Amino acid sequence: MNGVSCAENILPERTVSAATTTGTRSNFDVKKPMKKLLDSVTDAENREKEHRKYHDHYRIRYFWCAFLPIALMSGFQTIIAGPSDWCWNPQLLRIMLALWTILISGIACYWQWDGLAERHLQSAKRLSNLIADTQHSMCKELTAKETQTILQSWYE
């Protein structure tokens, strides 16, 4: 009886210690590299959000500061291109509108808000694809490590 109770006490301890040792070792092996990957994925997600925010910012800036004023001035120039008796000096007004259009077009070309918006959008798309690929490989890596841990615990 004494031998049986000793064996029962030793067996669970051995199983528990083997499981805890294997579990701790595998968690240590898996968690350390996985933590770095998770941190990098989180960092990439934050950068993707920033790129999307900048894309929206530059797209809106281009629309309000370049496209809309140029479109309105061009439309107004078209309207007053014909003979008009309502304006005291239509030729001067046409010249002023043309100069303003040239100035705003030059500013838009110099700052290239539309190009910046597109570059930020492409960067956000690339980061999104990278995040998806990394998460997919993390899932494959994690399942392979877990499978290896389970098999090791069976043999111990």
Chain-centroid distance of CA 45 in Å reads: 5
Average per-residue pLDDT for the chain: 78
DSSP structural state of residue 156: -
At residue 59, the pLDDT reads: 97
Whether 147 shows a pLDDT value over 90: the answer reads no
Q: Which residue has the higher pLDDT, 32 or 137?
A: 137
User: Picking from 36-50, 57-71, 77-91, 117-131, which range would have the lowest pLDDT averaged per residue?
Assistant: 77-91
Q: What is the mean pLDDT of residues 7-29?
A: 40
Chain-centroid distance of CA 92 in Å reads: 50
Q: Which residue has the higher pLDDT, 109 or 83?
A: 109
37 and 140 Cβ atoms separated by less than 8 Å: no
Name 34's Cβ contacts closer than 8 Å, sequence gap at least 6: 138, 141, 142
Whether 129 shows a pLDDT value over 90: the answer reads yes
Whether 63 shows a pLDDT value over 60: the answer reads yes
Which H/E stretch holds residue 150? helix 113-155
Q: Which residue has the higher pLDDT, 4 or 109?
A: 109
CA distances from 41 to 2, 71, 120 (A): 56, 42, 18
- Report how far residue 75's alpha carbon sits from residue 101's, in angstroms, rounded to the nearest whole number: 11
